[in-house]
Structure 1
Amino acid sequence: MPVKEIFTCVFKYTQAVEVIHKKNTVRTQFISPARLTCAAKIKEKILTHICYRVNINSDLGTWSQLSYIGQDVRKIPPVLSKLYGSRVQSLDLSYNCLTSLQELSNFPHLNELVLDNNQLTDSITFPRNENLRTLSLNKNNITDLDVLMRKLENNLPNLRYLSLLGNKACPNQLSSPDKDDEDYQRYRYYVLYCLPNLQFLDSRAVTTEERTEACQRGKFMKVVRPSSENESNRREEIEKENRNKYTPLPAARRHADDHRGMFGKCRFRYAGKHSEGNRFILNDDL
């Protein structure tokens, strides 16, 4: 049999993107370090540290990766989606301050998404993407596991690799010292029940025993928490019950320096001979 040749070619470069607001245009060019220093002095907006890597392989096809790491941005810069959105399969936005994924819908061909060490919360939304296989959300501010599972199940149906380490939604010792291995295992069962196609969760691969246990008992591993609306309704009911309860104490509140209950005048006075106090009166006192 003839030997199949595999040709691999990797292109990697880092460039700076200059955003010009006056003309509402975007220009991509290589900028020298002296140019960057001058731009920093005049506070000109220049996006740097954009790393775009292209891997051309005759057997696996073309694979392109975009990295924009450690720039402290709160949202994905629109310039990234305009320049690379239609041709990127892997996107790495780690070590930023992301709170929104609004521009993510402009990356329709994503197969891998890394969002570690950001500030993403339960309010994030994922656009529907049937190509995404890998999602990493380590060390964010995700607390509600049930809400996240519904979003991933509806919008990312072909997800195979998921990591949530460092979030409160992932109960292990990285998120809380009060959690143990049993809490983490119950969490794995519930995640696998919601996403049965996962092959790798957090730090280890999914085993056949875990998958079987998740199918049988995974739905019972859900942690039910009362919503804020239920809590407020319950609080109102308790206050209403307390108001309807009888109490001999006066309804009006009194301060600690109010001593009217200790000193006062009595309306009635007993003057009969059967008073208990008469036995202490001597004849000399009459």
Structure 2
Amino acid sequence: MCLNSLLFFRCLDALVHFKHLTSLIADHNPITENCFLPPLPKLDLLWLNHCKISSLFPWVSKLKESCPNLQHLCLMGNPAAPSYFNGGTFYEYLQYRLFVISQFPSLNHLDDRKVTEDQRAEAQRLYKRPFFERIIKPGSGSFSQLVHSSVTWSGFQNKLTTLLGKDKPNDRNLMI
């Protein structure tokens, strides 16, 4: 029996000693979104398939800080990576894919598919603008103007409703 088959990694903090690591495959481990990932600036391939990652936010942000140069990322089989095989819809899969692409400018492959320029452009359009910037109309002034002006709850709620697409049931934009 192989010793590797008996070892399961719940956290990856021991990788702090491997600053020059370029590839990591840790499939089928009980790794969650709470797992600490040390800075791995040279890591360009990361596979965490069939782990226990159930939430993308804020995990993807932490991953981006730790591994800014990822080119290949595979998260298939995790609850946070919806697909037909784990009960997710095609729409949920697209939202997941575009959100992850928006966080990693150098990503070439996500899961089993190449990242296209169209996907990268759509990811930028959907997820790169800050939340408050999406609420404020472009050209209406700066953030400081919003802070120093009086804002009514109904005005904020109307902007939020428009942003989230509640007034148009067929045109949703999931915020992950």
TM-score normalised by L of structure 2: 0.69
CA distance in 2, matches of 1:194, 1:203: 18
- Indicate conservation of the 8 Å contact 1:115/1:137, yes or no: yes
Residues 1:169 and 2:122 aligned together: no
Deviating runs (4+, > 2 A) in structure 1? Answer: 218-223
Tell me the distance in 2 between the aligned counterparts of 1:137 and 1:108: 19
| Percent of aligned positions that are identical | 32
Q: Which runs of 5+ in 2 are unaligned?
A: 129-172
Name whichever structure is richer in helix by fraction.
2
Larger Rg: 1
Q: TM-score when scaled to structure 1?
A: 0.44
What does residue 115 of structure 1 align with? 26
Q: What is the deviation of 1:218?
A: 3.0
**In structure 2, C-alpha distance between the alignment counterparts of 1:185 and 1:122, rounded to whole Å:** 20
Q: Does 1:160 align with 2:66?
A: no
AA aligned opposite 2:117: T
Contact 2:18 2:40 in 1 (8 A): no
1:207 pairs, out of 116, 128, 138, with: 116
Residue 246 (structure 1) aligns with: none
Aligned partners of 1:221, 1:154: CA distance in 2, in Å?
A: 23
Match for 2:98 among 145, 168, 189? 189
Higher strand share: 1
CA distance in 1, matches of 2:24, 2:116: 24
**Higher relative contact order structure (alpha carbons within 8 Å, sequence separation ≥ 6):** 2
Alpha-carbon distance, 1:215 to partner = 0.8
**Deviations 1:206-228 (CA, angstroms, capped at 9, x unpaired):** 011101111111355433xxxxx
Partner of 2:85: helix, strand, or coil? coil
Cross-structure match for 1:222: 175
Question: What one-letter code is carried by the residue in structure 2 that aligns with 1:155?
Answer: S
1:151 and 1:128 map into 2 onto residues whose CA distance is 10
Deviations 1:166-198 (A, max 9, x none): 0011011233x2x22121011111111111221
